Structure 1
Amino acid sequence: MTEPAASRRPLRPVWAGRNHGLLTAAAVVTNLGGNGALIAAAFAVLDAGGDGGDVGLVAASRTVPLVVFLLIGGAVADRLPRHRVMVAANALNCLSQGAFALLVLTGHPQLWQMMLLTALGGTGQAFFGPAAEGMLMSSVQGEHASRAFAVFRMAMQGAGLGGAALGGAMVAVVGPGWVLAADAAAFAVAGSLRAFLDVSHVPPRAPGGGMAADLREGWREFTGRPWLWGVVVQFSIANAVVGAADAVYGPLVARDDLGGAGPWGLALAFFGAGTVGGALLMTRWKPRRLLLAGTLCVFPMALPSAALAVPVPVGVLCAVMLFSGALVEVFGVSWMTALHQEIPEDKLSRVSAYDWFGSIALVPVATALAGPAEEAFGRTASLWGCSVLVVVVTAAVLCVPDVRNLRRTTRPVLESTGPAKDASADAERPVGGLG
């Protein structure tokens, strides 16, 4: 006898729609390939006769176009169907990584060739990132947005953790060329999945006034919300100093005091495991004051630098990394939920682009200054300085009333209404949001 339709269990939770499933599956595929490819690219440079400076040049070749084209990518993603921008970016990444793999497998690639192909990958990411974030945030329902984002990030972080471990092993067994080829294939698979995204829920775009006008409109949306630009400024500094500590000081401390690269790799793996745990926590926890809870969880970002400054034993460092990774992910889910709630759908990608730009722009600068800072102040003092800066900028952003008072709501914003009003004037009821 057929079970009545009303009593049947749905095949997936109400918040996990078709788009969410496709986006999550595609993110898992690209993170499995991409994190291994980062390791493979470094070893490809070294195998071709390069040194540490050459590895840094190839890495910078990806970051520079990413920063340069991010804002344009955000404007394009709000003007065109986002899934098409994502598929086109994936195609560019597939071709550039495939060419990189072919060079490595067939001979001795030149440094300029590797830099050029890596720069193409960074350009693709500049257009992909804002489109992907806008697509994800526009594809979930307000009441379930936080859980949907948490599951997405948990899958993405888990894939990144597994991809780094798998990529490192594959580089050792089959060489970097085949790992780069696998990453190219991953982009092809992910792009195919993203081509099936449904954009029927997205309202038709009104005719715009050109790229410059779109960028100005996104800038007004960004600067008109103190909680938004305040947190981005906070993370522009916090990400920069934490990135410098991880990229420069962490390996040096590991070499001199912890026993080499192995313990440092283990500590980074514990941080990745912590982010997965934090995302898992956020599938159940829905803090009422989104940004207050999230920002309080940013303070532990200061702990790894402090642990390296001491330095603590490897076991303690791993525990610190696990704890800080978990709490930072609480912020990540809260932040995505706030953007989804507060930013009109037609401006999501542009605001995401300004967010990304602010968050990464100072990372290359801080990394470049890490060496001179160590020479001027010493490694221990520099690491303590990184910790202090994280604490100071996080405490400062808590002085913004909107950050303390913005509350979770499911009341939707169906169209652009201009910058949000000061949340401090409305502290006892929810601020309107997109959802």
Structure 2
Amino acid sequence: MIRPARPGRASAAGGRWAVLREREFAVFFVGYATSHLGTSMASVALAFAVLHHGGSPTDLSLVLAARIVPMVLFLLGGGVLGDRLPRRLVMLSADAVRALSQGILALLFLAGPVPLWAVLALAACGGLGEALFRPSFDGLVPELAPKDGLPEANSLLGMAQSVASVGGPALAGVLVALTSAATVLLVDALSYLISIGALLLLRTGHRAPGTGSGSVLAELRAGWQTFSAHTWLWTVTLQFTLFNLLVWAPYLVLGPISADRHYGGPEAWGLIVGAFGGGSLLGGLLLLGRRPSRPLVVTTTITFLWAAPSAALAVRAPLWTVCAAAVAAGVSSAVFNSLWMTTIQQHVPVDSLSRVMSYVTFGAYSVGPIGLALAGPLAESTGIGPVLAVGVGWQLLANSVVLALPAVRGLRAPAVPPTTTPPSPTREERPARRLPGRP
């Protein structure tokens, strides 16, 4: 199903890595990869900063929730801003908010104990910055890379995330031991300054993608109409929402518990998490330069493997089997994320892209906390194995249903980079809008 890339600007210029020769994307990639590494480090540092300064596990839960809640609440508004204002400007503002809030938090922890209310407020500012940044980021990428280089661009961005998810926590652990958690938080704040510098160097993203003439509610309705007009888009989003509730949230909660009880402790969980990150990196490398003709068939088929780690833990398979399952899930995750983003960018009008992606991301985050909260109590009453097995069964059933849908099986990747303005939003299939100044 996956075939070599068609000849085009990206492939002609040097194949899989050609998109990095595009100045705009290369500059942005450096800034984004740096800030994402800092964010991955900060997640570990913040936990130790709270606990080392007298915080309880309940305090830590509140701090983590303080970041997630505003991110969910303001995500749709961030999508409206991403389609109404220049996306580069929105992202600069978001990075400024995150750099300032993280920098203040680091300085407060360096000075001594910090009141819980201050930590909660600054964590909430970070969540607000993420809500503003993400939809504009999703909409800006097609402006930075040539249309026939979008698959490679998304693969490289996914690989940067994979490297950060593995290397960030490990590096943070070393730095916390050598210096302090507050120092790592300060490093994260500085990483956002690098991202700001990269955004300032961009020559694109200065103009608003849409007219922005309607009210916020009107633009949200218009974005919803575009989102709901694509059967494949809302169906896969719904599947992904329930996946986070029934499969991934229980895995994140019960995986460490299972590792502690049956595989020797945190070292085993570290191996499993590292295996997933390694699989993600491998999946990104394997996908570079390849263009599936039916991308959603590929993504739906390969995401059967997302159930593999939960299945291995449910039956208490040997540790090497669990790690192998995590590698398979990591490969699946990388392939899905890259092809999914590319498909959306190719079939959703550019002036609606941020709002549409805000609905997609909102679905991903909206019910995940419920799954996190329920997984522990359910496992205490029924056992770890049954809870994980329910998730495995759901993933197999849901993927089979989605794969049977004509809208999913029939969607094809564009044969050539589309250059025409999309027709009415009521149409099921639409080519991507031509960007100003892009040949």
Q: TM-score by structure 2 length?
A: 0.91
Change (3 A) 1:311 1:204: closer
Give the letter for the 2:84 counterpart: R
Equivalent in 138, 142, 149 of residue 137 of structure 1: 142
Change (3 A) 1:421 1:254: same
CA contact (8 A) 1:73 1:128 kept: yes
Give the letter for the 1:158 counterpart: V
Q: CA deviation at 1:246?
A: 3.6
Equivalent in 388, 403, 412 of residue 408 of structure 2: 403
- In structure 2, the partner of 1:299 is 304
Q: Give the Cα–Cα distance (whole angstroms) in 2 for the partners of residues 207 and 183 of structure 1.
A: 33
- In structure 2, the partner of 1:173 is 178
Equivalent in 352, 356, 360 of residue 351 of structure 1: 356
- In structure 1, the partner of 2:228 is 223
Equivalent in 239, 248, 252 of residue 234 of structure 1: 239
- In structure 2, the partner of 1:4 is none
Query: Any residues of structure 2 matched to 1:18-417 within 5 Å, and which?
Result: 18-199=23-204, 205-409=210-414, 410-412=416-418, 414-417=420-423
Does the residue aligned with 1:286 lie in a helix, a strand or coil? strand
Q: Give the Cα–Cα distance (whole angstroms) in 1 for the partners of residues 156 and 355 of structure 2.
A: 24
- In structure 1, the partner of 2:10 is none
Give the letter for the 2:91 counterpart: M
- In structure 2, the partner of 1:418 is 424
Give the letter for the 1:432 counterpart: P
CA contact (8 A) 1:32 1:159 kept: yes
Change (3 A) 1:15 1:403: farther
Q: CA deviation at 1:421?
A: 3.7
Change (3 A) 1:34 1:82: same
Q: CA deviation at 1:179?
A: 0.5
Q: Give the Cα–Cα distance (whole angstroms) in 1 for the partners of residues 206 and 155 of structure 2.
A: 22
CA contact (8 A) 1:147 1:283 kept: yes
What is the CA deviation profile of residues 186-228 of structure 1, one whole-angstrom value per residue up to 9, with x for unaligned ones? Answer: 0111111112222269676325212111111100000111100
CA contact (8 A) 2:308 2:328 kept: no
* Total equivalences in the alignment: 421
Q: Give the Cα–Cα distance (whole angstroms) in 2 for the partners of residues 16 and 62 of structure 1.
A: 36
What is the CA deviation profile of residues 45-89 of structure 1, one whole-angstrom value per residue up to 9, with x for unaligned ones? Answer: 111222222222111111100100000000001111001100110
CA contact (8 A) 1:142 1:434 kept: no
CA contact (8 A) 2:85 2:212 kept: no
What is the CA deviation profile of residues 109-167 of structure 1, one whole-angstrom value per residue up to 9, with x for unaligned ones? Answer: 12222111111100000000000110012322222221221122222322332212111
Does the residue aligned with 1:398 lie in a helix, a strand or coil? helix
Give the letter for the 1:102 counterpart: L
Unpaired runs of 5+ residues, structure 1, are 1-8, 424-430
What is the CA deviation profile of residues 224-282 of structure 1, one whole-angstrom value per residue up to 9, with x for unaligned ones? Answer: 11100001000001123343234310111111111111110111011011111111111
Change (3 A) 1:270 1:86: same
Does the residue aligned with 2:118 lie in a helix, a strand or coil? helix
Change (3 A) 1:200 1:122: closer
Give the letter for the 1:382 counterpart: V
Give the letter for the 2:431 counterpart: G
Change (3 A) 1:369 1:234: same
Q: CA deviation at 1:292?
A: 0.7
Q: Give the Cα–Cα distance (whole angstroms) in 2 for the partners of residues 61 and 203 of structure 1.
A: 31
Q: CA deviation at 1:32?
A: 1.4
CA contact (8 A) 1:87 1:192 kept: no
Does the residue aligned with 1:298 lie in a helix, a strand or coil? helix
CA contact (8 A) 1:94 1:185 kept: yes
What is the CA deviation profile of residues 366-422 of structure 1, one whole-angstrom value per residue up to 9, with x for unaligned ones? Answer: 101112211332211111112112222222222321111111113425434333644
Q: TM-score by structure 1 length?
A: 0.92
Q: CA deviation at 1:307?
A: 1.2
CA contact (8 A) 1:15 1:144 kept: no
Q: Give the Cα–Cα distance (whole angstroms) in 2 for the partners of residues 75 and 414 of structure 1.
A: 24
Q: Give the Cα–Cα distance (whole angstroms) in 1 for the partners of residues 29 and 130 of structure 2.
A: 17
Q: Give the Cα–Cα distance (whole angstroms) in 1 for the partners of residues 401 and 356 of structure 2.
A: 22
Q: Give the Cα–Cα distance (whole angstroms) in 2 for the partners of residues 248 and 292 of structure 1.
A: 30
Does the residue aligned with 1:322 lie in a helix, a strand or coil? helix
Unpaired runs of 5+ residues, structure 2, are 1-12, 435-439
Q: Give the Cα–Cα distance (whole angstroms) in 1 for the partners of residues 424 and 271 of structure 2.
A: 46
Q: Give the Cα–Cα distance (whole angstroms) in 2 for the partners of residues 342 and 277 of structure 1.
A: 27
Q: Give the Cα–Cα distance (whole angstroms) in 1 for the partners of residues 98 and 358 of structure 2.
A: 19
Q: Give the Cα–Cα distance (whole angstroms) in 2 for the partners of residues 64 and 243 of structure 1.
A: 19
Q: Please report the RMSD computed on the Cα atoms of aligned residues, expressed in angstroms.
A: 2.1
